[in-house]
Amino acid sequence: MRYYSTRNKNRSFSFSEAALAGLAPEGGLFIPEHIPAYRGAVKNSLGSMSFLEIARETIAPYVEGEISLPVLEEICAGAFSFNAPLIQIRSGVSGPPLVLELFHGPTAAFKDFGARFMARTFSWLRRGEDRPLHILAATSGDTGGAVADGFYGVEGISVTVLYPRGRVSGLQERQIAGLGGNISALAVEGSFDDCQALVKAAFRDGVLREKLILSSANSINISRLIPQGIYYAAAAGKALTGRWDPDGEATPRNLNGKVSRSPPPWSGDPLSGGPRPVTFCVPSGNFGNLTAGLYAMAMGAPIAGFIAATNINKTVPDYLESGEYKIRPSRATISNAMDVGAPSNFERMAAHWNYRELQGMIRGISATDEETRSAIAGVYRDYGYYLDPHGAVGWTAVQKFAAGNRNAGSFMPGSAVVLATAHPAKFAETVEALTGPVPVPGSIQKTLERHPRARAIPAELSVLRDFLLEGP
């Protein structure tokens, strides 16, 4: 498989070149020359394959010729030591959407999947190298914690995470800036867009490019995006056969008489309306997660389409409605990881698919903070299940989608899957005001013991340059 830049199709790169560079020389994003298809036997067996088997089949075509299958299997086994359960909110054959819980990893957020795969892949690709690699990552919340955890202690790699000062939760800041060692944290005076612009400017800076080997760990890096397609394929395969998972250890559910536990694994109960390809509702900010879903769909996973759920930062939903793409300054919300006014991965989406194609696959729906709070309170009241603010945006979007399509045949309750991208305990201040105490998983309990150590900087390239060259 070869890769090229979204801004230059005349030069191709290997997977290792694209992954380790992060950003293409002229500032574009790396994309594969084509999106491979699942083999027929795999496509027909997604509902019965293990997560690691699907991981191997999903990633192998993208790294063919560079990472052997035995090595890939070893990387995946180390990276994906946790699962992504597809949970039924309420027992029975009808009712609310299913939830794909992506927060069972060490930092309780979906970013763990890509970050842990990337860290192990980078370590293997750079085996025997003497010159250190320096990774830059901008974060609006969860990416920074997942990258810090994934790369912590990895020999020969140092990481600098930039996050908007005062715009991440206290827990997120502990995850980003509480490890030390080879992980440095910079609290930028500004928004996530400012952090992201600083990272891109650093990659274009001649002085830094000459003196340092730089790479990225945001979803702009193709090696973080590809493995995120795994959980879409796995969940879609289960849903197509009318099955779901039992609650996992970190499933945030109140069992005090409100609801019963989920059915046992591999229940034969069909989804409402019968098994069929699902619609994934993806809480979206930088749009890397949704792009990964589009890749999974193109590979042949049984996916009917997507709902791009955003908060009031609705650049892409507005584009899908009007055909005009207008970036804008981001605005702060309670779903802070989605506070992105200029989503980087839109450039990748637009390189693969034109406006009509994207409009045919994605419905964009936004939610206000008031609607988000209402969803958190309502889902807990009705089902005893805790949603974080980002999952609540997704829940709201599904309800709006259902209300607008009752007579169009494109949605029936049970055929939608909401991605729960972070554990609600990461946003306890917001959630507990609406639900009362949230159950805290063990991974978060450990994080609460950390003390964040970050350096505050203005959103200026010269200051970032000095920091990187001088060291923390």
pLDDT of residue 6: 96
What letters, b where the CB count within 10 A reaches 16 and e where it falls short, cover 268-284? eeebbeebbebbbbbbb
15: amino acid identity, one letter: F
Q: Is 107 exposed, middle or buried (0-12, 13-18, 19+ CB in 10 A)?
A: buried
Q: What residues does 32 pair with on adjacent strands? A: 3
Segments making up each domain of the chain, as ranges: 84-109+224-440
Cα distance between residue 315 and residue 325, in whole Å? 7
pLDDT of residue 405: 63
Cα distance between residue 389 and residue 109, in whole Å? 13
pLDDT of residue 143: 81
Cα distance between residue 408 and residue 231, in whole Å? 28
Sign (positive or negative) of CA dihedral 163, 343, 309, 87: negative
pLDDT of residue 95: 58
pLDDT of residue 26: 86
Q: Which of 340, 315, 5, 309 is nearest to 139 (CA)?
A: 340
Q: From the CB of residue 449, how many other CB atoms can be counted at a distance below 10 Å?
A: 8
pLDDT of residue 275: 64
Q: Which of 8, 59, 1 is nearest to 34 (CA)?
A: 1
Task: State phi, psi for 122 to the nearest 5 degrees.
Answer: -60, -45
* Residue 280, SS3 per DSSP: strand
Encode the chain (472 residues) as per-residue pLDDT tens digits.
999 999 999 999 999 999 998 889 888 999 999 999 999 999 999 999 999 999 999 999 999 999 999 999 999 999 999 999 999 887 554 557 899 999 999 999 999 999 999 999 999 999 888 888 999 999 877 788 889 999 999 888 999 999 999 988 888 899 999 999 999 999 999 998 899 899 989 988 999 989 999 988 877 899 999 999 999 999 999 998 888 899 999 999 986 644 444 433 323 333 444 567 899 999 999 899 999 999 999 999 999 999 999 999 999 999 999 999 999 998 989 998 898 899 989 999 999 999 999 999 999 999 999 999 999 999 999 889 999 999 999 999 998 988 876 544 444 444 789 999 999 998 999 999 999 999 999 989 988 889 999 999 999 999 999 999 987 6
Task: Enter the pTM of the model.
Answer: 0.88
Angle ∠(410,381,412) on CA atoms, nearest 5: 10
Cα distance between residue 19 and residue 47, in whole Å? 30
Task: Give me the CATH code for the 84-109+224-440 domain, please.
Answer: 3.40.50.1100
